[in-house]
Amino acid sequence: MKTFCGRANPTTGAMEWLEEDENYDYHQEIARSRYADMLHDKDRNVKYYQGIRAAVSRVKERGEKAIVLDIGTGTGLLSMMAASAGADFCYAIEVFKPMANAAVKIVEKNGFSDKIKVINKHSTEVTVGPDGDMQCRANILVTELFDTELIGEGALPTYEHAHKYLVQEGCEAVPHRATVYVQLVESKRMWSWNKLFPVHVEAEDGEKIIVSPSEMENCPGVPSVCDIQLNQMPSSDFTILSDVVTMFSVDFSKPVRSASTYYRVQLEPVKSGKAQIVLSWWDIDMDPSGMINCTMAPYWVKSTSAFQWRDHWMQCVYFLPNEEPVLQGEKVYLTACRDEYSVWYKLQKARGEEENKADVCVESPVCRCQAHLLWNRPRFGELNDQNRTRQYIESLMKVLKTDSVCLCISDGSLLPVLAHYLGAKQLLIKTVAFFFFKFFKANHLEDKIKIIEARPELLTSSHLEDKKISVLVGEPFFTTSLLPWHNLYFWYARTAVTSHLTSNVTVLPQSASLHMMIVEFQDLWRIRSPCGICEGFDVQTMDDMIKNSLNFRESKEAEPHPLWEYPCKSLSDPREVLTFDFRKTVPQHCLSTEGSVNLSRKGKSHGAVLWMEYHLAADIPISTGLIQISNEKGNCEWNPHCKQAVYFFSSVIESETLSDLPSAVTYAINFNTKTGEIAMDFQL
């Protein structure tokens, strides 16, 4: 059987349906899953084990048999912990077939087949009774169904169902309780991920300001959670406006209600400022006493020095619908609304309680202005980056003349507006037209900039009103790009419109280059490292399965990661490995390079990082990757708006020893101009 998977083609910018092996989807799922990361989360594992032992003892002390229901068993880990702790029987439910199969093997290998029954079903399909999946209801409920937002993976409806049909009243639950915490902050950096700030342009005839349409100013944005490694956010990037407060908690040992609801707390700002962002995280108490606690609290809140890095649970950033000035000591109300799967926030000045209640919003935020559908959060951040804008302005000023006919090819770009203020007559293509109509209107540009809704290869002279293009610009940025070099689609588009360009056309950026550096990650390597033995249980079957899935397609491919969230140090100097000349068309032949980089710093070579740099007009480079190596230790600063490509060296990550460190890494990198993809190979 075959299945079809959508993928953007970097040579056409279009989505294409590729025929894939029927196993493709789940190999992808396993290869990119967070199972390995969870199994490496020592803090989580240890606390689950403690909580499970305590729950089994409590049941045994009551003279009852310990019957465990483990919903979402994954590798079977929590059931094996329960069986080892003396549980009489465990029902291990797992909906994802390849995982359920792996759980059967892992349970058998560890000698628990007589105590653990793996059931490959969604928990809501599980039956109880003499002929059912479960003989009787369980008296211990163990789960790990949480995401960074706690409820995003459907924990609430799953618990609600389990309490109704699968467990006894008064059952023990591990975890026993989850609590969601919030803190109100002001942060220009985070606020810039959801709102477009006015863009200032110093034109010859004075300063111009690009503004957003009013719909955009009042738009709450998209409901999807913004989850980040908040521990990488320096304290200088936000101002704390309130203490940490408990927003709500869920007791998992009692019936759980998943229906939409809201919670409200009163906050007394500790500082005056603009309330913009609600930072949020949760903790779970594994037992009723609250002595076994696993917390996602960020660095400025957590007192323990034993810090657990994890990527499967991070912290949430919520954007208030509008920024709200608050005064120190003057109380405000913060409301958390939630449906079954997501949470959103609203802040109100303390008024009459009744008035406030009437105001509670129950629908989740939806983008009304279209901009949040066009620009994701990092893209908002990029467009709001004044330094970057200044570099584009400077370059545009160098190349634009008053009679320039300018064509912009980039998704949702503000370059046409900049170009207009800097004096060009221009046209624009390849963008989401609907939003841009409104945007141009707000800036009185609707008759100054023309939107051409045609793919570059279908561009005709009539689109261009029979003019030839003298300046072709792009950022380049395309929403379908996954890896840094996919934005080379600009080069393909430039090639497609060649017949419409003047003979001495200026292309901006004039060229791009691919850069590479060997790094040692502080933590990110863990997501690709095997687990072997986890809390005494052999989970190697899981490692083999992940490896097999990686080999299925992707092992020789790089993967995108926003490295500002994942500290690393450079082991080699950064090196430019390929260049792409946008002044010329895409060549027929492949571009390849090979070489060797010296490892000048001591450390484990976890992988190579690759990124693109664009050369705007002469001497103005824009890096989408490395900004600088900050100190002698080699710590790196990365572009905060972009993802970089990471190619992991599995042989290094899998080896335990640090003995023979290589002194150089050789590489072979090939850009296939037919497919727009880059293949690479490294030898240590």
- Which one is catalytic: 144, 149, 186, 565? 144
Number of residues that bind ligand SAH (CB under 6 A): 19
Per annotation, catalytic residue among 20, 29, 108, 153: 153
Question: Per-residue b/e over 377-404, b at no fewer than 16 CB within 10 Å?
Answer: bbbbbbbbbeebbebbbebbbebbeeeb
The nearest distance, CB 158 to ligand SAH, in angstroms, is 4
What is the secondary structure of 347-378 as a DSSP string? Answer: EEE---HHHHHHT---SPP--SSSHHHHS-HH
CA 541 from centre of chain? 28
CB of 174 to ligand SAH, least distance (A): 11
Shortest distance in whole angstroms from residue 2 CB to ligand SAH: 24
- Give residues with Cβ within 8 angstroms of 261, minimum separation 6: 337, 338
Q: Read off the DSSP letter of residue 346.
A: E
Backbone angles phi, psi at 218, to 5 degrees: -100, 5
Question: Smaller CB distance to ligand SAH: residue 154 or 321?
Answer: 154
Question: Which among 314, 340, 312, 364 has a CA at the least distance from the CA of 152?
Answer: 340
C-alpha distances in Å from residue 251, one per residue of 159, 238, 615: 10, 32, 56
Instruction: Give the whole-angstrom CA distance, residue 9 versus residue 677.
Output: 9
- What's the per-residue H, E or C state across 403-436? CCEEEEECCCCCHHHHHHHCCCEEEEECCCHHHH
Compare residues 26 and 333 and give the one whose CB is closer to ligand SAH.
26
Minimal distance, residue 522 CB to ligand SAH, in Å: 23
Q: Which two tokens stand for residue 666?
A: 């050789």
Q: Are 436 and 414 in contact (CB under 8 A)?
A: no
Question: Is-contact 510 494, C-beta < 8 A?
Answer: no
Rg (CA), the chain: 28
**Cβ 155 to ligand SAH, closest distance in Å?**
8
CA distance 120 to 123: 9
DSSP state of 134: B
Q: Give the separation between CA 522 and CA 229, rounded to whole angstroms.
A: 13
Min CB(143)–ligand SAH separation in Å: 7
- Between 73 and 335, CB nearer to ligand SAH: 73
When the beta carbons of 68 and 524 are compared against ligand SAH, the nearer one is 68
CB 104 → ligand SAH: shortest distance, Å? Answer: 14
Q: How far is the CB of 74 from ligand SAH (least distance, A)?
A: 2
Q: Which helix (H) or strand (E) holds 513?
A: strand 511-521
In order of 34, 197, 360, 626, the CA distances from 644 in angstroms are 20, 25, 41, 9
Pick the closer one to ligand SAH by CB: 11 or 123: 123
Per-residue interface string for the shown chain with ligand SAH, residues 619-658, x marking contact by CB under 6 A: ----------------------------------------
Looking only at residues 88 through 127 of this chain, which bind ligand SAH when binding is defined by CB under 6 A?
A: 93-96, 99, 122-123
Residue nearer to ligand SAH on the CB measure, 94 or 149: 94
Minimum CB–partner distance for residue 78 and ligand SAH (Å):
5
Q: What b/e sequence results for 564-599 when a residue is b if at least 16 CB atoms lie within 10 Å of its CB, and e otherwise?
A: bbbbbbbbbebeebbebebeeebeeeebebeeebeb
How far is it, in rounded angstroms, from Cα 414 to Cα 435? 12
Smaller CB distance to ligand SAH: residue 175 or 365? Answer: 175
Residue 426 binds to ligand SAH (criterion: CB under 6 A)? no
Residue whose CB is less far from ligand SAH, 96 or 375: 96
Instruction: Pick one of 30, 38, 174, 427: the residue that binds ligand SAH (CB under 6 A).
Output: 38
Contact 642, 595 (CB under 8 A): no
Cβ of residue 221: shortest distance to ligand SAH, in angstroms?
27
Give exposure, 209-239, as e/b (b: 16+ Cβ within 10 Å).
ebebbebbeebbbbbebbbbbbbbbeeeebb
Work out the number of other CB atoms within 10 angstroms of the CB of residue 97.
Answer: 10
Q: Which is nearer to ligand SAH, 94 or 172 (CB)?
A: 94
Between 99 and 451, CB nearer to ligand SAH: 99
Site string for ligand SAH, 54-93 (x = CB under 6 A): -----------------xxxxx-xx--------------x
Residue ranges of alpha helices (H) inside 166-261 are 188-191, 214-217
Nearer to ligand SAH, 73 or 192 (CB): 73
Beta-bridged to residue 670, according to DSSP, are 592, 679
C-alpha of 456 from chain center: 30
| Closest residue to ligand SAH: CB criterion | 72
| Count of beta carbons in the 10 Å neighbourhood of residue 355 | 9
Helix (H) or strand (E) holding 182: strand 177-186
Closest distance of CB 132 from ligand SAH, Å: 16
Residues 131-190 that bind ligand SAH (CB under 6 A): 144-145, 154, 158
Q: Give yes or no for a contact between 3 and 493, defined as CB atoms under 8 angstroms apart.
A: no
Angle between helices 42-61 and 77-84 (to 10 degrees): 40
Q: Which is nearer to ligand SAH, 154 or 662 (CB)?
A: 154
Clarify whether 108 is annotated catalytic: no
Pairing status of strand 405-409 against strand 425-429 = parallel
CB of 655 to ligand SAH, least distance (A): 25
Active site includes 215? no
Which residues of the chain form contacts with ligand SAH (CB under 6 A)?
Answer: 38, 71-75, 77-78, 93-96, 99, 122-123, 144-145, 154, 158
Q: Tell me the catalytic residues.
A: 144, 153
